[in-house]
Copies of this chain bind each other. A is one copy, B any other.
Amino acid sequence: MKIKEFQKKLSEKRIDAAILYNMETGRENANISYLSGYKGYGFLVVPAKKSPFLIVPLLDIEYALKSKMRFYIMKEGFIEKIAKKIGMVKRIGVEATKFSIFAKKKFSRIFKKARFIDISPLIGELRMTKTEKEFEIIKEASDITNKIMEKCINNFKNFGTEKDIYNYLKIECVKNNVEPSFDFVVASGMSPATPHHIPTQKPLRKGFCVIDFGIRYKGYCTDITRTVYIGNPSEKERRIYNLVLDVQKNAIKNIKIGRRLSDIDKNARKEFGKYAKKFIHSLGHGLGIEVHEQPTISSLSKEKIKEGMYFTIEPGLYFPLRFGIRIEDDIFIHKGKVVNLTKVPKELLIVKPKNF
């Protein structure tokens, strides 16, 4: 996506070429994947004024063919090969949090006078607003996500443990030919008090049960959360659930192109009143190729809401050793409108697991 726009940004910053790499087998580099479609091991080289190309190992040739970008097979001396192709450039763009001190040493031996400049923010900016083509994929991804989450909630009578729910979601992913976008959270009883709880094989317990689920479909992520109730909620529990729900709905109502994301977050915190201290994470985060990308929706966000942004709205309240509640929808700013892609009902739902 947007490789020409990226090259334009490189020129503006007087960067001769960007060099990105992925040295971990079985993992993709999100920026390489975004710019080239290549999901394998190797290097992506994007000169500001020439055609970009990949350097890939022979074993990953199928991934390279899928990317439709020009590629060369990685052999000894491939850094010299890159230098031959792009010239002895002096300003090289790299991902500063990924470009290692080892890589710097190797590249500096060939590109003797090079300076390495961080280009992650440039790509982050491009990725932050999605194209119409990306919107179409994301909509499909959301439809699958909604379907699986609804099926899961309707299947509660067959679940005995958190792990049952977790495994059900994973198997649904396989059946739908999608990947999990992160390690799902299923937290029952006191466990939802920890936002990143690890699912256990203990019996499901009375109280709130948080299910945080998301998929990766054609390279794009979703991330939604529903909190259901096992047993009979007290008046207070109902009241607190509805407070989270109101804050969540109001936050979505508050979204308008041009508004500051930090204001959306601040307003949600204000609405939580005396419970604001129990809201221990940010209101939301951008989604896309990665399950966390720009923009962040917190009091520190600097961005204003723009066309093409895609992010979560997920207020939550956490009472240590008691319970936790989180409700999370995925929002897309599409053709000037605020589209809530998450269609799973969010009024408080009472469920009955196996043996309950």
On A, residues with C-beta under 8 Å from B are: 23, 25-27, 40, 58-63, 66, 94, 96-105, 116, 118, 163, 167, 170-171, 174-175, 177, 182-183, 194-198, 280-281, 291-292
Nearest 5 interchain pairs by C-beta: A96-B102, A97-B102, A170-B174, A59-B196, A26-B182
Q: Are A59 and B281 in contact (CB under 8 A)?
A: yes
Write the nearest CB–CB distance from A39 to chain B, whole angstroms. Answer: 9
Q: List 16 A-B contacts (CB under 8 A).
A: A25-B292, A26-B182, A26-B291, A40-B196, A58-B280, A62-B194, A62-B197, A63-B198, A66-B198, A96-B102, A97-B103, A101-B101, A167-B174, A167-B175, A167-B177, A171-B174
Q: Are A195 and B59 in contact (CB under 8 A)?
A: yes
Q: Are A25 and B103 in contact (CB under 8 A)?
A: no
Q: How many angstroms from the CA of A182 to the CA of B291 in the assembled complex?
A: 20
Q: Which residue of B lies closest to A291 (CB)?
A: B26
Q: Which residues of B contact A66 (CB under 8 A)?
A: 198
Q: How many angstroms from the CA of A257 to the CA of B197 in the assembled complex?
A: 44
State the number of copies, please: 2
Write the nearest CB–CB distance from A197 to chain B, whole angstroms. Answer: 6
Q: Which residue of B lies closest to A61 (CB)?
A: B194
Q: Which residues of B contact A58 (CB under 8 A)?
A: 280
Q: Are A196 and B100 in contact (CB under 8 A)?
A: no
Q: Which residues of B contact A40 (CB under 8 A)?
A: 196
Q: Are A101 and B104 in contact (CB under 8 A)?
A: yes
Q: Are A27 and B27 in contact (CB under 8 A)?
A: yes
Q: Are B175 and A60 in contact (CB under 8 A)?
A: no
Q: How many angstroms from the CA of A59 to the CA of B102 in the assembled complex?
A: 31
Q: How many angstroms from the CA of A342 to the CA of B226 in the assembled complex?
A: 42
Write the nearest CB–CB distance from A268 to chain B, whole angstroms. Answer: 18
Q: Are B102 and A118 in contact (CB under 8 A)?
A: yes
Write the nearest CB–CB distance from A106 to chain B, whole angstroms. Answer: 10
